[in-house]
Structure formats: structure tokens, C-alpha cells
Structure 1
Amino acid sequence: MAEALKRPGGELASRPLHFFWVVDCSGSMYGEKIGTVNHAIQSTIPEMVDAAKDNPNAQLLVRTLKFSTGATWVTPTPVNVEDFAWDDLDAGGVTDLGKAFEMLAAQLTIPPMSDRALPPVIVLLSDGQPTDDYKSALDRLLHLPWGKKAVRIAISIGQDADDDVLQQFTGNSELVLQANNPQALVKMIKWASTAASLVSAPASRPKDMDELPEANDAPNATNAPLVLDMNNIPDPGSVGANDVW
């Protein structure tokens, strides 16, 4: 996938597309929730590989950031999706979402981001309420050029998740996906892992994208916004009362 794409008049090298899993590993995720997350992301990796092959202009790089009491990069450096392996996560501790935003923001500057990169994709999974001061870190993240341009999706796990906070992160209530049972969580993870990063929908471009030098200087600017087909967000389905988290 890192090979150049040949076209009349020259070659277009693939451009990095950074995909971040940001996973709540607090104590309330213990058991079935974190087990479902581990299984779903592990099983969707081959689908991400296949989707990446269909977009040779992009080099899909994946990382995992977990947060509970503090936050830690599970994947210290970006990994090509073909080489990415999911490490099962454990749950315990509090919900230091602000620390996760702080560590994420530190990776969305140039460097370490390349000025040739495509808009990054950030998928945040959480089932609770932040236990630290998340607002200042989120504000910094959303004021970074790459933070503004990022495709930001949140998966709200269970009925105790703070959807207001998740909507502040996404900036769009439609991109706060509800997962109140294992089946819905698997659906949302699988959709976010592929459609979110590899569907091009220029009409959904942020209004200020053309003002960003990274977009204007790109060798193929029309391919820069890899964003969402909002019509294809999966229906979580109906479940009985006993199946709801």
C-alpha cells in the first residue's frame, strides 16, 4: 500500500491516514463490555485491511490509546494496518478522559503528523463520565488544525455514558453512536472501523478545510476529505429489557 499509484503524467505516492482507537478502560467497562470491545476490534482488522486495499491513495496507520486512571498508548507508534495486532485491554480505575485528549492532541501536531497526511480518524469509546478536567484538553484538541479536520466518532456504551461530553467531542449528535448491548456495540465498531476512514464524501467537508494549507498543498486535494456516508450508520436494533447495559 505504500507503493506509488501510477497515473498519466506521473505517480502519486500514498498519503498517511492516521486511525486512532481511544478506549475507555475504567472499572465500569469490566467484564462483558471490554470483552465485546476486544472481540469486535480484533475481528474487524481484516475488514480494515480489505478496505485499505481499495484506497491505494491512502496508507492506513493505526494506533490504540486507552484511558482509565491516566492514559497510555497501547501502540506507541503508528502501525500499518496490515501489521496491526490488537492487544486485549483490561478494565479498572477511573475515567481520565481529559488525559486521553491531552495525549491525543500531542500527536496531532506537525511533527509528528506529516503535512501530507489525510484527515485523521478518531473513534472514542466510553461508557461513563469523565473524572478529570477534560474541557481544557478537548478545547486544545479541537483548535489544532488536525483536530478540526479529523473525522471524530464516539460510541456511547450503555445508558450511563455521558452523551453530552461525547457530542462535544464529535461536534455532531449523529456521530454519537448508541450501543446499549453487545450486538449493537459490535455493529458500531465494525462500521466505524471501515466506513469512517475510507468513504469519500466531499459534501461533508468542514467549511474551513479549504483554508488549511495541508489541504491546498496536497498533491491530490480532491482526495483529502475521507469522511462519512451518514446514511449508512447502522441501526443498533431492538433488544429486550434484560439485554440492555
Structure 2
Amino acid sequence: MTMMDLPGGAISRRPLRFYWVLDVSGSMAGDKIDQLNFAIREALPAMRESAAENPYAAVEVRVLTFSTGYQWVTPKPVPVEDFNWTGVPVNGITDMGAAMKAMAKELSVSNMPERGLRPVVVLVSDGQPTDDFDSGCDALMAEPWGKRALRIAIAIGGDADLDPLRKFIGHQEIEPLAARNSPDLVKYIRYVSTTVLKSASAPASRTVSVPSDGTPTPPPPPPPADPDADAVW
């Protein structure tokens, strides 16, 4: 007998939204964007498998890119089993603040499912904001779902500005993941697609304590960086 066949009918699966927020500004051109596209595409089978292991959560994926302004690559959340990745191009500057305001609107109470689990928002960037990031981040944190979300950031390259990424995370126990080469980036994309996703979906099947201020419990530690990689960004 499977869990879906238990007396009382099928299990009601609660929506869990997973957001990629990707920097596609001009500085990402070349190997960085190629490896980011490769890493997301290669992580998808493991992401689907991780999502399938929890019959209580229905994982949906949506992608937001930002450069000069922002763009929703997926018009609406897509079930992870139907989500595919063909890659994104690069151009423009780094309007990270505009992306934060777009996420604030997306995570407003009126847009989120009533029974949804805390969403996962993964910000990936190699630079520093060229617009008003602080007001955008404040708008995101002002939304109950924005504050409750499990927010993870991946910094690409040794010259990425970590301060805005730390503010986006807003959790003293979670640092930006510093991807200084292709192996690190692939490793961290897989980590957020599987381990972090599994951590966020855990409350669907068991009670997990959340501090009274709404700050989410941190996920398991990430894998270590690869200090011996040949190429460094």
C-alpha cells in the first residue's frame, strides 16, 4: 500500500514555489552564463527526483531575470515535472532592486496560494546593483511571504558584491555561496535545487519550528568550495 492509497483518500499536496532570480547583465557574458545555464539544466533531474520524494509538496518553479529592468522567463509557476531549461542570454546593467520589487509583488498575499509552504528564492549574481537595491529589498521583506521565504544567494566570481546578497538573505546563519569557478557553481546550483528544496518542503510532512519573527530555519550546510579548480572567475 502506498501513501497515496491510505484510507481517507489521496494526500492533499501543498504548493511549494521555487524561484530562480538570475543576473543576466553584460558582466555575465561568456563562461559565467554558459556555466549557469549548464548547471541549472544538469540539476533538473535531481531537482525533480528530490521533489518527487515528498508526496505532501507540489513543487512549482518560476524564473525571473534582471539586467536593464527585469523579465519573467516563465509567465506563471510551472510544475517541476514540466519545467525545462533552454538557457538565457545576457545584456545590460544590473537592476537588482527592480528584481526585488518584482519579487515583492509576486510574493504578495494576493498572489500566493493559501495553503502554500514557504517559498524558496535563489538569487544568483556576479556584480553589484546599479539601481536602488535597498528599497527593493525592503519591499520584499515587507511582504509576509517575502520575509518567510527561504532566501539563498550565489555570488559568481571573486569580485561579486556580497553586502546586498547578505541583506537579501537576511539571516545571520546563512552566508552567500561564493562560486569562484565552474565546478563550484554546478555544485551550488545542485545544492539549492535538491538539499535546500528538500529542507523547505520538510514542514509538509512534519512539524518544524519557525522563530516568532518569521525567519526560516537555515537549511543543511552547503558543500565545500573547490580550492584546487584550475580556472577562477
- TM-score for the superposition, normalised by structure 1: 0.85
Give the Cα separation in 2 of the matches to 1:12 and 1:194. 22
1:10 Cα shift? 5.8
Query: Corresponding residue for 2:227?
Result: 238
Query: Corresponding residue for 2:17?
Result: 18
Equivalent pairs counted in the alignment come to 225
Query: Corresponding residue for 1:92?
Result: 91
Query: Corresponding residue for 1:177?
Result: 177
Residues 141, 7 of structure 1: alpha-carbon distance in 2 compared, 3 angstrom cutoff:
farther
Residues 109 and 145, structure 2, Cα contact 8 Å, conserved in 1: no
1:89-141 Cα distance to aligned partner (Å, 9 max, x none):
11111000011111111110122211110000000000001000011111010
Query: Corresponding residue for 1:229?
Result: 220
Bigger relative contact order (CA 8 A; separation at least 6): 2
* Identity value in percent: 46
Q: Map residues 49-128 of structure 1 onto 2, 5 A cutoff.
A: 49-128=48-127
Residues 109 and 143, structure 2, Cα contact 8 Å, conserved in 1: no
1:45 Cα shift? 0.8
Residues 204, 243 of structure 1: alpha-carbon distance in 2 compared, 3 angstrom cutoff:
farther
| 3-state DSSP of counterpart to 2:131 | coil
Code of the aligned partner of 1:157: I
Q: Map residues 85-234 of structure 1 onto 2, 5 A cutoff.
A: 85-172=84-171, 174-199=174-199, 200=202, 205-209=210-214, 228-230=219-221, 233-234=222-223
Residues 24 and 66, structure 2, Cα contact 8 Å, conserved in 1: yes
Give the Cα separation in 2 of the matches to 1:195 and 1:204. 18
1:203 Cα shift? 6.0
1:198 Cα shift? 1.2
1:8 Cα shift? 5.2
